Amino acid sequence: MARKIFVAATGQNSGKTTTSLSLMYMARKKYERVGFIQPLGPKPMVTEKGMVADKDAVLMAEVFGLEDDLALMSPLVLMPGDTQRLLDGELSSTEMEQQMLFALTELDRKNDFLIIEGAVHTGVGSIVGFSNARVAKLANAPVVMVTGGGLGNVVDAVCMNFALFEKEKAEVRAILVNKIIRENARRPCNIWTWRLPQNLLR
């Protein structure tokens, strides 16, 4: 069974994928087998082999030589019109959940450490029943939440996103302020003391 971490974000372009890349690099120094999964992918692309996968999963596979596991790394990819098909009953949320859980279970079995990347912000996927918070709970993975820069923006976004994790009873262990705006960084604020705990990769 792998140790796991769920990388969430308060919004788009906060640095979630960059954080996942950094965690993968660090974790591979400590663990022999490190895996990656984006359970719900909102950004589909077609690989050279004709496979549809989320572009972030494709990036991780190419950078770290994980192409053999790409089908597991991107088990659910939302294509245009899928939301409507689900609402119309043409797609089954139960089958989607089983597909997601199968991939999580297989990667859990194959790896010593597993990085799980959420989609955009905490609420994304809610309409199909798979918000980031619910997926983190299904995966039984502690969460690190990546934010953008600023002061009020960061605190407001963290509080709003944290509420959904709290509702789903998913554990948020750390807040990572990824883009510190220079003029704000000069001002004293407790938010700058939030950082990844040393035991996050243990």
How much is the pLDDT for 102?
Answer: 95
Class of domain 3-201 (CATH, top level):
alpha beta
Q: What is the mean pLDDT of residues 10-38?
A: 88
Predicted pLDDT of residue 183: 57
Average of per-residue pLDDT values in the chain? 81
Contacts from 67-73 at CB under 8 Å and sequence distance 24+?
69/35, 69/107, 69/110, 71/103, 72/37, 72/103, 72/106, 72/107, 73/35, 73/36, 73/37, 73/38, 73/103, 73/107
b/e burial code for range 119-148 (CB count within 10 A of at least 16 → b): bbbbebbeebebbbbbbbbbbebbbbbbbb
Q: From CA 166, how far away is CA 193, in angstroms rounded?
A: 22
Q: What are phi and psi of 139, to 5 degrees?
A: -80, -10
Global pTM reads: 0.82
pLDDT digits (tens, 9 = 90+) for 100-134: 899 999 999 999 999 999 887 666 777 677 788 88
Average pLDDT of the segment spanning 81-110: 86
